[in-house]
Amino acid sequence: MPEDVSLATVAARAGVSVSTVSRIVNGEMRRASPATVARVLEAVEAVGYRPNPVGRALKRGQSQLVAMIAANLDNPAMATIASSTEAALREAGYVMVLCDTHDRPELQDEYLEAMRAQMVSGYVLVAAVPSPGLSELSASRAPAVFVNRRNPGGSGAFVGIDDRAAGATVADYFIDRGRRALAVVFPRLGSSASRDRASGFLARLRERGWADEAIIQAAGDGRSHLQIGYDAGSRIFVGSDAPDAILSVSDQIAYGLNRRALECGLKIPDDCELVSIDGTPLNQWVAPWLKSIEIPYALYGAEIVAGLQLIWRGAPFGERLLPCKFG
Amino acid sequence: MPEDVSLATVAARAGVSVSTVSRIVNGEMRRASPATVARVLEAVEAVGYRPNPVGRALKRGQSQLVAMIAANLDNPAMATIASSTEAALREAGYVMVLCDTHDRPELQDEYLEAMRAQMVSGYVLVAAVPSPGLSELSASRAPAVFVNRRNPGGSGAFVGIDDRAAGATVADYFIDRGRRALAVVFPRLGSSASRDRASGFLARLRERGWADEAIIQAAGDGRSHLQIGYDAGSRIFVGSDAPDAILSVSDQIAYGLNRRALECGLKIPDDCELVSIDGTPLNQWVAPWLKSIEIPYALYGAEIVAGLQLIWRGAPFGERLLPCKFG
DNA sequence: CTGAAAGCGCTTACAG
DNA sequence: CTGAAAGCGCTTACAG
């Protein structure tokens, strides 16, 4: 039960000054005599000393906290990113503070300000939305890694996948399977990720001789991707020109599409093939009818923290695109 | 862009001492002359002063941080609890630190210690596992609210549902629907919640004249509830004595059960009715075949924070059981 | 090789 | 009604 032991406690027990203890605790061994080092380490051990991060933060002007500002924790993909980042940060000796902005710019700014006040040593921005505070953050050159959605302000480290390539892969797949009536469903006001997935899909189709007009593009608005998918289904699945293959830029959109398809008496994938980009593990349990490009969200944490550490060391870190699995 | 303004900055601008500014900033208006108060508030406004939480924490011996120690963020229910708690804490002026223990006692203890060092003002323990550190926490009388799983050490504030009643409700439902072959599936090494749900179910059946032996009890081990459900399905759905109604103590177990049922050529709910206790919103999209007792996870945050605030004020807070919806 | 001292930003008895 | 001073726990030039 490590009680409130401070540097002073250890110093008294070891018969040295707090300065000396501080140095040794911080690994500056060479500046002290071996005998002193031994005595101090023994005392540290004996009283169970652990540096107080608050005192340290105040002096250094920087805490061991890292802020994760996420758009929506209820999204399983975000939850997995949060979970893996938290684990990687802990490994590196940091503590993650989680802020859920619910996609609202004012809330995002409120958090950005609160985290600055907490003297966090870095920011992880998952699907950040444009906001004044975000611009300031970029301008301040604070250590930040953007995830999924690139910095709307342009520059900044990024961890994600090659979204355009993912879309293109699906285009190739559909063509090679002989699909004739293609559709793509995406949120109208989406992230850079959604946009890039859809445009990568369309671009590849164009390359392979398809006219843009031949492809159903269903952009959706709405509270959730589930709803966007459902609504798009309402438009797509009626009439005789229903598609025989659909790219959904997220799993949740695909869930919504499937729900509507069922209501229309359509069976996926028999009547219409559906491919999404996400591939969360839940799919195999509740959506075996869904084919996906699997984004390795569980690996994001390690990459994000590696990126932060590079930035802290002053090394360059542009972007890290993780490989996806299709199948 | 609020720069690094300290009390000193404000004091200088207002022509008073930092003590005075500190008092006024902390709402102790009555101790200063109206003129001074006005001057100070004006200066605070002008320079955009915001108290530095780190300095404050060091002095007070307590930060504005609240630790949420959760067993597994990948579980959507936990993610919703985390999200709603985070929102409620922010509202109350606190910042949530998220720790994911992956159900491992050593990790839980590591976090408990780290959070103590951060001088957090409270602990939210979601599905905590027994551990030495947890016992110490209880003994230390630190402000803590247990969620879903009660304090394994006995005492402690609790937010959750009436698990036994939930189980009993399902028992009544099955009997009233004329079901004849009942089963219940739960994790062998489960939380108090899982246990209580199953035992509440069995107890009510007993009350209504059912012999325990007449009910299939499938306790499962495994990494995930999904897997537990799947494995239980492998045992339950074979042979001629398959149940016609199953209580699954969580949605994820139900997903696993359904997957296995499909493989056996069974259709839920036609061949076998399945009821789970959780009722996450995703169900209506991907598991319309699943009937659930809906736990209002989105409301947990407010209750948890209300509980913490009572405890901080020294008021008693035993437990808060939230009402569920069945349908 | 080691320590005294200053100071990070804040709060709070205490004195006036 | 207001301020000087001490101190929360730490780090870091600086002096010796």
Q: State both tokens at B312.
A: 């901080």
- For residues A291 and A270, give the distance between their C-alpha atoms in angstroms, rounded to a whole number: 12
The answer to whether residue A285 neighbours chain B at the CB level (below 8 Å) is yes
Per residue, the 3-state secondary structure of B164-206, as one string, reads: HHHHHHHHHHHHHCCCCCEEEEEECCCCHHHHHHHHHHHHHHH
Distance B53 CA to D8 C1' (A): 13
Handedness of CA B99, A122, A148, A307 (dihedral sign): negative
Residue ranges of domains in chain B, CATH in brackets: 7-51 (1.10.260.40), 61-155+298-326 (3.40.50.2300), 163-294 (3.40.50.2300)
Distance A32 CA to D14 C1' (A): 17
Q: What is the pLDDT along chain B (327 residues), one digit of tens a residue?
A: 456 789 999 999 999 999 999 999 998 887 788 989 999 999 999 999 999 999 999 999 999 999 999 988 888 889 999 999 999 999 999 999 999 998 899 999 999 999 999 999 999 999 999 999 999 999 988 999 999 999 987 778 999 999 999 999 999 999 999 999 999 999 998 788 999 999 999 999 999 999 988 899 998 887 789 999 999 999 999 877 889 999 999 999 999 999 999 999 999 999 999 999 999 999 999 999 999 999 999 999 999 999 999 999 989 899 999 999 997
CB atoms within 10 A of CB B266: 17
Handedness of CA B164, B166, B170, B176 (dihedral sign): positive
The answer to whether residue A218 neighbours chain B at the CB level (below 8 Å) is no
Q: Return the half-sphere exposure (C-beta side, CA atoms, 13 A cut-off) of residue B113.
A: 18
CB atoms within 10 A of CB B133: 20
Cα A115 from chain centroid?
A: 18
Question: Is B53 in contact with A118 (Cβ distance < 8 A)?
Answer: yes
Question: Is B98 in contact with A79 (Cβ distance < 8 A)?
Answer: no
Q: Which member of B102, B116, B118 has the closest CB to residue A95?
A: B118
Q: What is the pLDDT of residues A112-130, one digit of tens each?
A: 999 999 999 999 999 999 9
Chain A residues in contact with B80 (beta carbon < 8 A): 73-74
Output DSSP code: residue B31.
Answer: G
CB B17 within 8 A of CB B6: no
